[in-house]
Structure 1
Amino acid sequence: MPGLKITLLQQPLVWMDGPANLRHFDRQLEGIQGRDIIVLPEMFTTGFAMEAATQSLPENDVVMWMQSKARQTNALIAGSAALQVERGPVNRFLLVEPDGRVHRYDKRHLFRMADEHHHYEAGNERVIFEWRGWRILPLVCYDLRFPVWSRNRGDYDLALYVANWPAPRSLHWQALLVARAIENLAYVAGCNRVGTDGNGHHYRGDSRVVSPQGEILATADPHQVTRIDAELSLTALKEYREKFPAWQDADPFTLD
């Protein structure tokens, strides 16, 4: 069964400057080969700004850049961006394959403590797609706090979270990533930013890859600008699910 080589780019972001951020990630992606998935943080073109959607790069420009990088690296390139679309402003997770195919997930849970729900339209569709033999669930930042939305219904192997998760709540981020992996018998990867944003919020990063048993497979020291690599095993995942089938006793949560 196929393994999966995943890379998280834990990086600072230039506040509200799309071209500068794309140039920065051009440099980070240069020379990366042999990976299956490369993950960038939430709102990687702007930082977590409420006004970003109306002032950010158009979706087509971001997608074209990601398509170019996916071809260059022969990997799925993933990251969210603030975008103005037909139904309004959204925080959209874009996942782009080397052949140009684009998967889109709009953040469902908007962070009310920053008034995100007053500036963006919430998504209403849970998205799962297959990539190189793996079923992947993309989610964004605040979504991590809501286990029903993340519940594995036997339909995914890896949950991907991108975030701008501030340093004062870093313990929440770390604990919830582990919890989501354990309760869903799935791999979990969380890519968070570092540095300070235009509102003065500080970010530690704490990006990591977690096994279905809650083991931290890869991470980095706090505040480190770095690349984090891990390799996941679908064989090991399926063996663990057979050996410890807790999923058979899961409560049948439903969503309206």
Structure 2
Amino acid sequence: MDSNLEIALIQTHLIWENPIANRKNIEAKLRLIKNDVAIVVLPEMFTTGFTMKPENVAQEEGIKTLEWLKALASTYGFALVGSTIWQEEGNYYNRLFFVTPSGNVHSYDKKHTFILAGEDKVYVAGKDHLFITYQGFKICPLICYDLRFPVWARNTVDYDVLLYVANWPKPRINAWDTLLKARAIENMAYCIGVNRIGIDGIGYEYPGHSAVYDVLGQQVAFSQKEEVLYATLSKDHIQFNRKKLRFLEDRDPFTLL
């Protein structure tokens, strides 16, 4: 088993409430991804931007987007991760999908809906974690506002990678930078954050700052422009530092009610 995991982060503009245009834009970028990449990460709500009016997007667009993810993962041989609007039984969800080349689909519904934007009134909050083991790395994917809640991200299951997809705006970008690094250090795991760039349909600006931090909080990748970022995650790096610095053994036990 390879002790390294190659990842790509797509930091991109998003066209407001336009799944067809966003899929076309992202697909053009996916065609250029390096051959050795195992996982490609997209931003939060990558087909629409962070809209609080999901009724403006046809229900079938969620299904089309999932089928699109499955087709591209199969074609290019890498897993795809990102969140999109999902409608089910009359409810809307901010749902993250992790789709593998073999067609396996894993999903996570955003636990912490963003009250300042009224997301809690529009989208149903998730209740459960998702942990995926892929190519020897245990991954915990979360969404945007989840980043502010360290208990929800606490590494009690020895995951290797904590992954956030986001639409995180410019006025609070310092919190994004700080908390990504903190989550890496306190959990002794790689921490990945993928943010969008540009201005959305209601005037909010997003500056990127997609990044990867290693288990010691060292920055492995970072960008403030539209581009694809690459990073290599090392299992040896994780194991060496966890054995040398046994901080996780002293973590406080707790139970989520």
Give identity over the alignment, percent. Answer: 42
State the match for 1:141 in structure 2. 144
2:181 pairs with 1:178: yes
In structure 2, C-alpha distance between the alignment counterparts of 1:233 and 1:104, rounded to whole Å: 25
- Please say if residues 19 and 61 of structure 2, whose CA atoms lie closer than 8 Å, have aligned partners that are also in contact: no
| Letter of the structure 2 residue corresponding to residue 40 of structure 1 | L
Q: Aligned ranges for residues 179-198 of structure 1 at < 5 Å?
A: 179-198=182-201
2:134 pairs with 1:131: yes
State the match for 1:232 in structure 2. 233
- 2:172 is aligned, of 169, 194, 198, to 169
| Cα deviation, residue 209, structure 1 | 0.5
State the match for 2:108 in structure 1. 105
TM score, norm. by length of structure 2: 0.96
Q: Aligned ranges for residues 16-27 of structure 1 at < 5 Å?
A: 16-27=17-28
In structure 2, C-alpha distance between the alignment counterparts of 1:72 and 1:31, rounded to whole Å: 13
Gap runs ≥5 in structure 2? none
State the match for 1:46 in structure 2. 48
Runs of 4+ in 1 over 4 A off after TM superposition: none
| Cα deviation, residue 27, structure 1 | 0.5
2:233 pairs with 1:247: no
- Please say if residues 17 and 56 of structure 2, whose CA atoms lie closer than 8 Å, have aligned partners that are also in contact: no
State the Cα RMSD in Å: 1.2
| Cα deviation, residue 229, structure 1 | 0.3
TM score, norm. by length of structure 1: 0.96
| Letter of the structure 2 residue corresponding to residue 24 of structure 1 | N
In structure 2, C-alpha distance between the alignment counterparts of 1:160 and 1:76, rounded to whole Å: 14
2:26 pairs with 1:37: no
Cα distance per residue 1:77-104 (max 9 Å; x no partner)? 0000011113610000011000111010
Gap runs ≥5 in structure 1? none
2:210 pairs with 1:207: yes
Q: Aligned ranges for residues 39-78 of structure 1 at < 5 Å?
A: 39-52=41-54, 55-56=57-58, 57-78=60-81
The alignment of Structure 1 onto Structure 2 pairs a total of residues equal to 254
- Please say if residues 54 and 83 of structure 1, whose CA atoms lie closer than 8 Å, have aligned partners that are also in contact: no
- Please say if residues 54 and 89 of structure 1, whose CA atoms lie closer than 8 Å, have aligned partners that are also in contact: no
